Amino acid sequence: MRIDLTCLRTGLLLALVAAATLPGSARGAEPTESAAAAGENKDGADWKTWQVNNEVTDVASVQRGARNFVSYCMGCHSIKYERWSRLGADLGIPAEVLQKQLIPPGDKPTDYILTTMPAKDAEAWFGKVPPDLSLMARARGRDYLYQFLKTFYVDSTRQTGANNLRLPTTAMPDVLSELEGLKRAVFRDVQERGEGGEVNHTLVFDHFEPVAPGRLTPAQYDSFVRDTVNFLDYASEPTQAARRSLGLWVVLFLLLFTWLAWQMKREYWKDVH
């Protein structure tokens, strides 16, 4: 009995080529803008069904999200369980770029990602200390964060001038309005007759109406939010990106191994009639 070596070698080569090209092409895949808002109602009527569809293995997107976080969130929020150096290593950000563009002046790479806003001031300004965002993606869910960042609306009855559908009467100001623009929420008055015959009114959200445009188009804003949520998703479990890409190699190895075992079996049983 002789194992057909040429056949084995070609197979091995094919598997290796597949293994070498697959993760590469996955990494090169850019999230398309049209996929961003695909299926979403422009006026927000279906906001409860919005899904972020982020991909934590998309390192470029997580990098953009990190930049968004530093520019727009870190003034109030920390990610206190992660160090800058870890962030740099995980996302492949060179040390000089990390120091120059992300780390606040005076902080070291070994420092944790902390906001400079003193908790006492935050309490006085917002009535609440902005929560640490380290575990927020896991605590609330990624779609929740996406919906939260996309359903701020103008509300003059609130101290911040803004309100939110996902977290009504939120203390967080509409910090992304400069990018997204301003929108108004239109509510429907739904009347129901109670048991005693009295009429109960409830205001139910109907749709958003644009008030003023922002710097980004709706599709660009969706991408911005998706990247930001992608970053928070990564931060909530920094090992997951590495673990998932390792998973791909494990699956490829198993496929190759199955194929080899099958070839062996075929060889061994060839002469058995």
Distance CA 230, CA 62 (A): 6
103 touches ligand HEC (CB under 6 A): no
Q: Does 22 bind ligand HEC (CB under 6 A)?
A: no
Q: Rule CB under 6 A: choose which of 72, 112, 205, 259 binds ligand HEC.
A: 72
175 near ligand HEC, judged by CB under 6 A: yes
Interface with ligand HEC in residues 118-157 (CB under 6 A): 126, 128, 130-131, 133, 136, 140, 145, 148-149
80 sits near ligand HEC (criterion: CB under 6 A): no
75 scored as a contact of ligand HEC (CB under 6 A) = yes
Residues in CB range of 78: below 8 A, 6 or more apart: 112, 113, 114, 115, 132, 133, 134
Task: Report, in Å, the least distance between residue 196 CB and ligand HEC.
Answer: 35
Binding piece for ligand HEC, criterion CB under 6 A, among 51-59, 82-90, 164-172, 256-264: 164-172
Binding part of the chain for ligand HEC, among 72-80, 202-210, 212-220, 239-247 by CB under 6 A, reads 72-80
Q: Is 226 in the site for ligand HEC (CB under 6 A)?
A: no
* Residue 208 binds ligand HEC (CB under 6 A): no
Residue 62 interacts with ligand HEC (CB under 6 A): yes or no = no
Burial of 24 (0-12, 13-18, 19+ CB in 10 A): exposed
Q: Which residues bind ligand HEC (CB under 6 A)?
A: 72-73, 75-77, 126, 128, 130-131, 133, 136, 140, 145, 148-149, 167, 170-173, 175-176, 228
